[in-house]
Amino acid sequence: MKSSLEILKERMGDVNALGAAMAMMDWDQQTYMPRGGAEARANHLECLSKMHHDIFIADETRKALEGAKAEASSEDDVALLRVIGRDLDLATKLPSELVARKTKLSAIAHEEWVRARTQDDFEGFAPTLEQMFEIVKEEAHHLGFTDHIYDAVTDQYEEGATAADWKKMFEAIKGPQVELVKAIQATGPVDDSRLYGEWDRQKQSQFTEMIVSKIGFDFNRGRQDTAPHPFCTGWSVGDIRLTTRYKPYLGSAIFGSLHEAGHGMYEQGSPAAWDLTSLAGGVSLGLHESQSRTWENIVGRSEAFWSHFLPNLQESFPQLADIELGSFMRMINKVEPSLIRVEADELTYNLHVLVRFEIECAVLEGSLEVKDLPEAWNAKYKEYLGITPPNNAQGCLQDVHWSMGSIGYFPTYSMGNILSYQIWNSLEKDVKNPFDLIAKGEFESILGWLQKNIYSQGRKHTPKDLIKAATGEEMNTKYYLDGLGAKYRKLYSL
Amino acid sequence: MKSSLEILKERMGDVNALGAAMAMMDWDQQTYMPRGGAEARANHLECLSKMHHDIFIADETRKALEGAKAEASSEDDVALLRVIGRDLDLATKLPSELVARKTKLSAIAHEEWVRARTQDDFEGFAPTLEQMFEIVKEEAHHLGFTDHIYDAVTDQYEEGATAADWKKMFEAIKGPQVELVKAIQATGPVDDSRLYGEWDRQKQSQFTEMIVSKIGFDFNRGRQDTAPHPFCTGWSVGDIRLTTRYKPYLGSAIFGSLHEAGHGMYEQGSPAAWDLTSLAGGVSLGLHESQSRTWENIVGRSEAFWSHFLPNLQESFPQLADIELGSFMRMINKVEPSLIRVEADELTYNLHVLVRFEIECAVLEGSLEVKDLPEAWNAKYKEYLGITPPNNAQGCLQDVHWSMGSIGYFPTYSMGNILSYQIWNSLEKDVKNPFDLIAKGEFESILGWLQKNIYSQGRKHTPKDLIKAATGEEMNTKYYLDGLGAKYRKLYSL
């Protein structure tokens, strides 16, 4: 007779397979699907998401989980049951009907958002967005919270995080970041026009695959394709995929690829023994983002990195042959308040996130109505970034997240930024002079440290425990502010 | 309250979504999946196939189907219930355990077959192949048959077909085809060496996409990728995908693309109203193959076709600029007994199929043991084609089908050849001088006739009824033999 643990693992195998099927369809939709396939794809995803939810939250799963708790003896099995338990608790609180309704609204809202952004028509999109916020409020009440409604939704993305945590985080970084931005702006504008032009796609593809392969992304267990919005996804430790994009700004492909490769190496570093189980992969969005930002910004925008790779880039694109390392560094680290989050520099990025966080809180708690959202958005951009969007397309309609119902997600981007420097600080205690290694094109010990301390831990510990184990303390904004300050004061000779 | 018909349609929506998920994973495996993804993919497919089977054959489906029979009023709904009923009868006869066992063995057998073919090791593969034949025998006994065990397995691929039908079919064509091949061989060898070389992949891709687009494959509702073995698959009438391959023989890409586009246009021609239901798509393997062979051979190897497209081909590949239409026609229609089925010409192709059919019958009925298969194979190649394979890799190990358990499938290839000419003969009664249109690059009325009479019928009628409705009679080998005879006697001045 099968043990409860075996029954549970079998059921979770089905849940995992359905998740894999949805991830495959999603990857395909964003990379290769012909236009005509959209309607059927939405239909198939709706069916699969409902099946996924129903099979997962069925009484049999709960029963097997409870039985397995008495059987589990290994540390890994105990951790596995904790993780399944958390996921199951969250999922069980949400009625199937609500899950299916959200999936369906997402498909519709996504199409409407695309149209609204193209036509700068917030008014036309507002009723749908309002419905989405209402659904997320419903979710929050099903999930439950004690202090703030935001706590319920953000915990889904970052276990244990609360609105109060995020407020504290933003308060700590906002002042110093605004000040640093102002000091940099006083030094006058940086001309990065040389990085705009028409760049051969094939060469961009080859160059980005070369650098991400050099830093440690394994192409035997992954690949890179193109997508309108770069992302990373996967099916097993043996199949992790990146996407990038080719735009007039050459940095789009380079830093897009490095960013996604950071996510990808995190996933590729998950232990093979946990593959296809709930222990595999990244522990939270914040920690995942810390790794994409580490490889994109700390490594990928460093002087050491480009002292090694600029000659290769110039070989691929001879029109850049006369650019010196110093000016290249200022170009790729140009700081300037701008309208669009995904194109924002490392310093102003968190201010974009803050705007979204405050607006999400206000709408969820009922102090802001969706119809008044553009006004609130523009006022905050004026206040934090000193600029006003000329229209809603470049304002509150710019992000895809809300149309998908991903509300409570944005602050994890800033958490990732902050953690990237904190983790790097710990890494530097063990890996001596990492930038000397980077300058030589040697990434093994850096990747090895991250693998050992972060990637190989999968979801075994809670995010908070993992941060503590890897860095010796809770999330601390000090390393981020110090690191950014040092980097930019040097770059801009402040 | 929902009607039984509504409940049935909903359930079938889930079954369809799981089928779509498996098709997506299969397409990906053959086109883009990195090597490291194979193990997880097999695991996911095993889970999904079991869920697919279990949900389909559950009592609820049968109950809803029986209830729906009393409710269905429209002709389409009645046809839908007939088709679901047939699929359900077949599926219900197979125990879940057997389905899962076959899926798992297929995954293993496929890997072993790849190894065995590479190493020319039939002996090493024989035990697995024997297991597969045993599983298929089990299937046959579950499915049931009255005359020959082969009837049970072949009916899954071609509704209503029996071993006796196939024997009659092969008997009718074997003599005349062997005779024609001999007469052609007596005229001396054709030199097609100009079609072998190194051909730019990008240009092959562009040229093949251009011709399949011109004949009517809609790239807004489809795409073309590359795969080791070309195939066509799809998810809806809006998303049908072809694959092709680039080899030293230039014809591989061209005729591979035309062949798959024939399958693809059949699928794209399915009525939108039936999309994602059991009425959508091709009615049987034989009819599907008739359409791939129509566009590949009757249209794609015709003088009219190349009088139009040879200049384009020569523009893409200037090294062919001096080839005249007449010699090009002989090259692409070269007849020569050869070892490999997929590379065989139109005339000898059926002899390859006959060898497989006779061997499958013999193993299933127990008159041939798997261990003696190579000997039987080689004797038949000697007898029908006059050649002996130098090894098993180029002999009985060449096809993928048996490793997948697709036994009873091969004769539908010959059925497709025969039907293609029979259907074309009917088309010529309504579409006057189709080759004059082809020579002008006009394909609308040809595609239109096929759409009206075949593609738009989906699975509404049985294959036998559809053939009768489209051509006025049962399958008749006369048109095929007459058509081939006329074509090749003209080409070879016999």
pLDDT tens digits, one per residue of B172-218: 999 999 999 999 999 999 999 999 999 999 999 999 999 999 999 99
CB-based contact A39 B222, cutoff 8 Å: no
The DSSP symbol for A158 reads S
Distance CA B174, CA B354 (A): 9
B343 pLDDT band, cuts 50/70/90, is confident
Q: Which residue of chain B is at minimal alpha-carbon distance from A222?
A: B34
Q: Which residue of chain B is at minimal alpha-carbon distance from A13?
A: B47
Q: Is the dihedral of CA B216, B221, B226, B229 positive or negative?
A: negative
A402 pLDDT band, cuts 50/70/90, is very high
**In chain A, what are the domains?**
4-148 (no CATH), 149-494 (1.10.1370.30)
CB-based contact B235 A35, cutoff 8 Å: no
Q: What's the whole-number mean pLDDT along residues A460-466?
A: 96
CB–CB of A413/A263 below 8 Å?
no
Query: What pLDDT digit, counting tens, does each position of B85-122 carry?
Result: 999 999 999 998 898 889 888 878 888 998 999 999 99
pLDDT at A111 (0 to 100): 82
Q: Which residues of A touch B238 (CB under 8 A)?
A: 34-40
pLDDT at A343 over 90: no
> Could you give the count of Cα atoms lying within 13 Å of B453 in the half-sphere of its Cβ?
24
Query: What pLDDT digit, counting tens, does each position of A5-22 carry?
Result: 999 999 999 999 999 999
Which helix H or strand E contains B290, and what residues bound it?
A: helix B285-293
Chain B: which residues have CB within 8 Å of chain A? 13-14, 16-18, 20-22, 24-25, 28, 32-41, 43-44, 47-48, 51, 218-223, 225, 235-239, 241, 275-276
- Work out the percent of chain B whose per-residue pLDDT is above 90: 94
Q: Which residues of A touch B276 (CB under 8 A)?
A: 40, 43-44
Report how far apart the first and last C-alpha atoms of chain A are (Å, whole number): 71
Chain A: which residues have CB within 8 Å of chain B? 13-14, 16-18, 20-22, 24-25, 28, 32-41, 43-44, 47-48, 51, 218-223, 225, 235-239, 241, 275-276
Q: Is the dihedral of CA B245, B249, B253, B258 positive or negative?
A: negative
pLDDT at B111 (0 to 100): 82
pLDDT at B285 (0 to 100): 96
Query: Could you tell me if the ipTM is greater than 0.85?
Result: yes
Residue in A44, A104, A218, A241 to test binding to B, most B beta-carbons within 10 Å: A44
The partner residues of A224 in beta bridges, in order of sequence, read: A242
CB-based contact B40 A218, cutoff 8 Å: no
Distance CA B436, CA B445 (A): 12
Residue in A60, A201, A239 to test binding to B, most B beta-carbons within 10 Å: A239
pLDDT at A228 (0 to 100): 85
Q: Which residues of A touch B220 (CB under 8 A)?
A: 34-36
CB pairs under 8 A between A and B: 133
CB–CB of B231/B289 below 8 Å?
no
Distance CA A271, CA A74 (A): 16
Q: Which residues of A touch B25 (CB under 8 A)?
A: 20-21, 24
pLDDT at A312 over 90: yes
- pLDDT mean across residues, chain B: 96
Predicted TM-score (pTM) of this structure:
0.94
CB–CB of B459/B266 below 8 Å?
no
pLDDT at B350 (0 to 100): 95
Distance CA B344, CA A277 (A): 47
CB atoms near residue B445 (< 10 Å): 14
Question: How does strand B239-244 pair with strand B222-226?
Answer: parallel
Among the options A209, A260, A267, A289, which is catalytic? A260
Q: What's the whole-number mean pLDDT along residues A391-406?
A: 94
| Order of strands across the sheet that contains A222-226 | A222-226, A239-244, A232-236
pLDDT at B454 over 90: yes
A371 pLDDT band, cuts 50/70/90, is very high
Q: What are phi and psi of A460, to 5 degrees?
A: -60, -40
Closest partner residue to A24 among B28, B219, B241, by Cβ?
Answer: B28
Looking at the complex, report in whole angstroms how far the Cα of residue B239 sits from the nearest Cα belonging to chain A. Answer: 5
Catalytic residues of B: 260
pLDDT at A108 (0 to 100): 83
CA quadruple A312, A317, A320, A324: dihedral, nearest 10: 0
Q: What's the whole-number mean pLDDT along residues A459-480?
A: 97
pLDDT at A83 (0 to 100): 97
Q: What's the whole-number mean pLDDT along residues A359-372?
A: 97
Looking at the complex, report in whole angstroms how far the Cα of residue B22 sits from the nearest Cα belonging to chain A. Answer: 8
Query: What pLDDT digit, counting tens, does each position of A257-288 carry?
Result: 999 999 999 999 999 999 999 999 999 999 99
pLDDT at A460 over 90: yes
CB-based contact B40 A222, cutoff 8 Å: no
Written as one letter, the residue type at B50 is K
pLDDT at A396 over 90: yes
For helices B75-93 and B4-31, give the axis angle rounded to 10 degrees: 60
Q: What's the whole-number mean pLDDT along residues B37-61?
A: 93
Distance CA A447, CA B367 (A): 61
Distance CA A136, CA A159 (A): 17
pLDDT at B228 over 90: no
pLDDT at B443 over 90: yes
pLDDT at A106 (0 to 100): 87
Closest partner residue to A238 among B14, B21, B39, by Cβ?
Answer: B39
Distance CA A56, CA A96 (A): 11
Q: Which of A441, A435, A424 is nearest to A483 (CA)?
A: A424
CB-based contact B238 A47, cutoff 8 Å: no
CB-based contact A17 B220, cutoff 8 Å: no
Structure tokens of B476? Answer: 């008749």
Query: What pLDDT digit, counting tens, does each position of B264-292 carry?
Result: 999 999 999 999 999 999 999 999 999 99
pLDDT at A379 over 90: yes
